[in-house]
């Protein structure tokens, strides 16, 4: 505590960003808390969170549970454990369930040559720690059938640029670039 935090506020204009103000305050544990991220909006400090790669505004933070709002307006809950693991969900119960999955699902096996979409969902979550909501949204977005069979290479191509894709590719490389 006692560190100075300074930030500028910018508005996005046609030709880029224009500075409109800023703030500077001491991290005092009240206005600004240590171990937290902040941005400046309307010349005020706003606590933000980046858990699981999801940018969100912190609405409250009580006993290891954060209530947040995403930029799209969706309210989520983020739960954390004492080892630095965290997960998010639409409810506290869903977030806790995902946290348990992330902590216990530690895939160290060999990827199969092919599997159904439903099997790949479980394997991908175990390999990457991806949350159920993110995977569910991805499946809906792609319109792929969970009953259809896919190869590891097909899945690798589909998930490119998504959360955990690098870890999935690493799991493929552990198999010598091949699957089982």
Per-10-residue mean pLDDT, the chain, length 180: 78 82 79 84 88 89 92 93 83 86 66 84 85 85 89 90 89 66
pLDDT for residue 105 = 60
pLDDT for residue 180 = 45
Rounded CA-CA distance 116/150 in Å is 6
pLDDT for residue 57 = 96
Rounded CA-CA distance 163/129 in Å is 9
Structure tokens at 7: 């930030």
pLDDT for residue 115 = 84
Note whether 137 and 102 are within 8 A (CB). no
Specify the 3-state DSSP secondary structure of 167. helix
pLDDT for residue 177 = 55
Note whether 59 and 69 are within 8 A (CB). yes
Rounded to an integer, what is the distance from CA 145 to the centroid of its chain? Answer: 24
Structure tokens at 128: 């990457």
pLDDT for residue 170 = 87
pLDDT for residue 103 = 65
Q: Which of 133, 137, 112 is nearest to 123 (CA)?
A: 112
């Amino acid at each position: 505590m006692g560190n100075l935090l300074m930030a500028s506020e910018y508005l996005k204009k046609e030709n880029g960003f224009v500075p409109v103000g800023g703030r500077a305050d001491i991290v005092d544990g009240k206005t600004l808390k240590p171990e937290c991220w902040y941005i400046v909006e309307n010349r005020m400090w706003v606590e933000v969170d980046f858990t699981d790669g999801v940018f969100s505004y912190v609405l409250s933070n009580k006993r290891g549970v954060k209530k947040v709002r995403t930029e799209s307006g969706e309210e989520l809950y983020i739960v954390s454990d004492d080892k630095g693991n965290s997960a998010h969900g639409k409810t506290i119960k869903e977030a806790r369930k995902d946290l348990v999955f992330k902590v216990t699902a530690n895939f160290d096996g060999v990827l199969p040559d092919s599997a159904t979409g439903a099997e790949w969902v479980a394997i991908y979550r175990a390999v990457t720690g991806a949350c159920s909501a993110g995977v569910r949204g991805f499946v809906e977005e792609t319109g792929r059938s969970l009953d259809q069979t896919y190869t590891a290479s097909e899945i690798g191509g589909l998930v490119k640029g998504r959360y955990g894709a690098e870890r999935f590719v690493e799991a493929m490389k552990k198999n010598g670039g091949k699957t089982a």
